[in-house]
Amino acid sequence: MLVIVAPGQGAQTPGFLSPWLEDPTFAARIDWLSAVAGLDLAHYGTAADEATIRDTQVAQPLLVGSALVTTLQLYPHPADAYRGLGAVSGHSVGEITAAVGARVITAEQAMVLVRERGRAMAQAAAVTPTGMTAVLGGDREEVLAALTQHGLTPANDNGPGQIVAAGTTEQLAAFADAAPKGARLRPLSVAGAFHSVHMAPAVDHVASLARSVSTHDPRTRFISNTDGTVVHDGREVLRRIVGQIARPVRWDLCLETMADIGVTGFLEIPPAGTLTGIAKRFFRDRGMSVETFALSTPDQLDDARAFCERHGEPSTMESSPTWRMVVSPAKGVFHRSEEAADADVLGAGVTIGDVASLRDRIAVTAAHGGQVVEWLVEDGDPVAPGQPLLRLYPEVVPA
């Protein structure tokens, strides 16, 4: 089972695009996305200094643009990816990259969205002095309690022993003066309190633009930062990406879902390393044998392609497009709703049942509705994230 992930803001380093731009095809594609974003991505990825590419308005388009073009080097024919890719996910702004990889939105739509996302978040950060601090180690419950006590948000929950706090500079200073036992604090060089209520104005701006974005349903499992569930409706993917601007990133739950679906290969696209390190610790602590690959330079491409071939397997969505397939959002036990149990036709948005996991019960809806072709699970069956539950045939509207 192959999972490909895209990193978030902070992964960029000065000059990281230089070796990639030696390929004229890569350079031409970067020029095209630069034109869409209105930024010279080649310049920022090769000649700009650390302070410049740390700017939110530069960092986010640079990360998404470079990741999109690098993925095309990995899969020159995007359709090839769907025949072997088990899931995609991205950390924070990396979700926009993942959405393109799942075919929810186009690369051009992604660049417009990330340009506006970066601008709006930078403007929101300028309103109040805010920041973020990584909390490494310490007892998880004690750390979370201390964050609540100081009015801080656990903006990034990256897995065991790594939580990023977000809030005002005063709140962060007070927290630092009374750090939880055993925890090490590392202030981050970011412009503001991302993934917290301080970013609400940015959500409003990007949401207004997203209403005009056309979407497709994912062609592979899309694992959401919101809660680690698999989302199979394109509009819902976009809605979550927008809302995530002011909502914590639950990367720990994304990793749990990867474990649930049986990942064997975890590949991070450039600028890679951060998510690979987190994944290694997570899967090691779980006692899982998961091979990881941090793709950083073009001389690794042949090995990366071999890695994808080794861990790839046929997708359940390749022969069954998601517009007529309802899939499970999480691991658990499926319970069919009375309304759907005996129905021959289901309306759009009808709840077909829920998946009961150890954490909660998650409702499952038939986003587009249609004629029931066949149930692929029975009431009370255990299910995995992204597992097909119900096959529907779209209703034909008479002319």
Q: Which residues are catalytic?
A: 92, 195
Distances (CA, A) of 137 to 140, 185, 192: 8, 9, 23
Q: Which residue has the tokens 């308005």?
A: 57
Residue type, 323: W
Residue type, 326: V
Distance CA 96, CA 78 (A): 16
Does residue 132 contact residue 126 with C-beta atoms inside 8 Å? no
Distance CA 189, CA 358 (A): 36
Name the 3-class secondary structure at 147. helix
What are the strands, taking DSSP E only, across 199-349?
Answer: 221-223, 230-231, 265-268, 291-294, 325-327, 332-336, 345-346
Name the 3-class secondary structure at 251. helix
Does residue 155 contact residue 132 with C-beta atoms inside 8 Å? yes
DSSP state of 397: P
Distances (CA, A) of 291 to 268, 277, 388: 11, 12, 26
- Element holding 281 (H helix, E strand): helix 274-285
| Radius of gyration for the chain, computed over Cα atoms and rounded to the nearest angstrom | 21
Q: Copy the structure tokens of residue 157.
A: 């929950």
User: What are phi and psi for residue 358, nearest 5 degrees?
Assistant: -70, -25
Distance CA 198, CA 34 (A): 29
Cis before 271? omega within 30? yes
Strands 265-268 and 2-6: parallel
